[in-house]
Amino acid sequence: MKTVYIKTWGCQMNEYDSSMITNLLENKYNYKISHIPEKSDILILNTCSIREKAQEKVFHQLGRWKKIKNKNPNIIIAVGGCVATQEGQEIFKRANYVNIIFGPQTLHKLPKMIQGIKKSDDSIIDISFPKLEKFKNIFYNKQKGYTASVSIMEGCNKYCSFCVVPYTRGQEISRPCDDILFEISLLAENGIREINLLGQNVNAYQGPTFNKKICYFSELLRLVSEIDGIDRIRFTTSNPLEFTDDIIDVYTDTPKLVSFLHLPLQSGSDKILKLMKRSYTTQEYENIIHKLINARPNIQISSDFIVGFPGESQEDFQKTIDFIKKINFDMSFSFIYSHRPGTPASEMIDDTKYNEKKKRLLILQNTINRQTMIWSQKMLGSIQSILVEGVSTKNIMELSGRTENNRIVTFKGSPKMIGKFILLKITEAHTHTLKGQIIE
């Protein structure tokens, strides 16, 4: 039995893709998944190119694997994901010991690529975009845990000036509605209680139905909520440009949809948003938040921010800080702007010193962390519904689960509670974690 080691970098889409590779190789082609690269026959690196110098990170990893291959020339090395699409043949040129290069849309071809390498010494590359072909090759199996992610669409049409996703994952294309519901139904039958719908821009979802109609994202959310066994629904990521009223209305009639939303803003300055080609204003973003609060008064919002984008002045940055306080974001993912080759932003003049960007990032993150702590303190004494996921990683005498707003809660309870929703009273509050007590 051949063994496979998979290393994954990047977003939840990459994690989902790696799970597809694992299921395919392990359950359909009888490979054994290994956790030790030195004892594996096949090494797979599933990559992300969203951050600066991502390709250098890939080549550093490949350099470490080269030492393993020098000891065993029969090892097959495969590179997939967004860096594979972005760099293509350049990977072979810089690392001629790599055998296979595949893209996010051709991962289902990996077993045949591996067989092809075994029959010859030639390298194989396929970074094409065969639309939704990979989903036709999903191998469904029992998934560990009680939460699962399901990809509902691929690609992005927005072409934000800083982003490589449209070039590495292709244009937006939605999976058929019935395929998604079938996958989630099987997960529910195998004990999954919480679903996270994935896509670069999920609210742009327009999937075909069996009767050749179009299912929009709002309708898909309601259909998923009707699946027996699924008691909590999340989704990521959204674009404010297409966060339409019909999606907001779902929050009024679908209690399984959590009272927590990740809605990337990127900047609180309209000037910078325009340079980013985000196609909305801060006022339009704020209008969405007000509508969401009217629909679900207890909703909490997280967001993404880019600091130090080309042209960002101190005044622009201060507008971002002021807007963060105004909206009262719960938490965020925030980064210093990354120069990505081939994007329009890479041609812009960037005259802000790196130390200044680091200073701004620290100010932003400290601002968000203070707000996160305030949100956590507001939960003290409240009753929260928790999906119990397992034993706490910090204390084996306690269990751990998550609230709707994605806080980890630890508490003393019975192992029989794992995989179930229980009510806890919050007794301690820290920035990102809580402690709770079971409600008898």
SS3 49: coil
Q: What's the one-letter identity of residue 335? A: F
Which residues touch 44 (CB under 8 Å, ≥6 apart)? Answer: 4, 5, 6, 7, 21, 78, 79, 80, 110
**What is the model's pLDDT at position 247?**
98
Count CB-CB contacts under 10 A for residue 171.
11
**What is the model's pLDDT at position 55?**
78
**What is the model's pLDDT at position 121?**
67
Parallel, antiparallel or unpaired: strands 194-198 and 147-151: parallel
Q: What's the one-letter identity of residue 330? A: D
Q: Which uninterrupted H or E stretch holds 428? A: strand 421-429
SS3 194: strand
The whole-angstrom separation of Cα 161 and Cα 275 is: 7
Alpha-carbon distances of 330 from 225, 262, 376, 378, rounded to whole Å: 25, 10, 9, 12
Q: Residue 304 burial by CB count (10 A; 0-12/13-18/19+): exposed, middle or buried? A: middle
At residue 171's C-alpha, the angle toward residues 166 and 175, to 5°, is: 130
Instruction: Report the first-to-last Cα separation within the chain, whole angstroms.
Output: 50
Place of tokens 């966060």: 243
**What is the model's pLDDT at position 29?**
86
Which residues touch 184 (CB under 8 Å, ≥6 apart)? Answer: 150, 192, 195, 224, 227, 230
Instruction: Name 436's bridge partners.
Output: 426
At residue 255's C-alpha, the angle toward residues 305 and 180, to 5°, is: 75
For residue 203, what is the DSSP state? G
Place of tokens 């080609």: 277
**What is the model's pLDDT at position 136?**
82
**What is the model's pLDDT at position 144?**
76
Instruction: Name 421's bridge partners.
Output: 387
For residue 24, what is the DSSP state? I
Parallel, antiparallel or unpaired: strands 300-307 and 260-262: parallel
**What is the model's pLDDT at position 118?**
78
Q: Which two tokens stand for residue 243?
A: 């966060």
How many Cα atoms within 13 Å fall on the side-chain side of residue 425?
A: 6
Q: What's the one-letter identity of residue 98? A: V
SS3 394: coil
Please check whether residue 181 is in contact with residue 224, taking contact to mean a CB–CB distance below 8 angstroms: yes
Q: Which uninterrupted H or E stretch holds 154? A: strand 153-154
Parallel, antiparallel or unpaired: strands 124-126 and 147-151: unpaired
Q: What's the one-letter identity of residue 78? A: A
Q: What's the one-letter identity of residue 34? A: S
Which residue, 416, 414, 406, is CA-closest to 379?
A: 406
**What is the model's pLDDT at position 56?**
84
Count CB-CB contacts under 10 A for residue 331.
22
Q: What is the pLDDT along the chain (440 residues), one digit of tens a residue?
A: 799 999 999 888 899 999 999 989 988 888 999 999 999 999 999 998 877 777 788 999 999 999 999 999 999 999 999 999 999 999 999 999 999 999 999 999 999 999 888 777 679 999 998 888 888 877 665 667 899 999 999 999 999 999 999 998 889 999 999 999 999 999 999 999 999 999 999 999 999 999 989 999 999 999 999 999 999 999 999 999 999 999 999 999 999 999 999 999 999 999 999 999 999 999 999 999 999 999 999 999 999 999 999 999 999 999 999 999 999 999 999 999 988 888 999 999 999 999 999 999 999 999 999 999 999 999 999 999 999 999 999 899 999 999 999 999 999 999 999 999 999 999 999 988 999 999 97
SS3 126: strand
**What is the model's pLDDT at position 347?**
94
Instruction: Name 304's bridge partners.
Output: 333
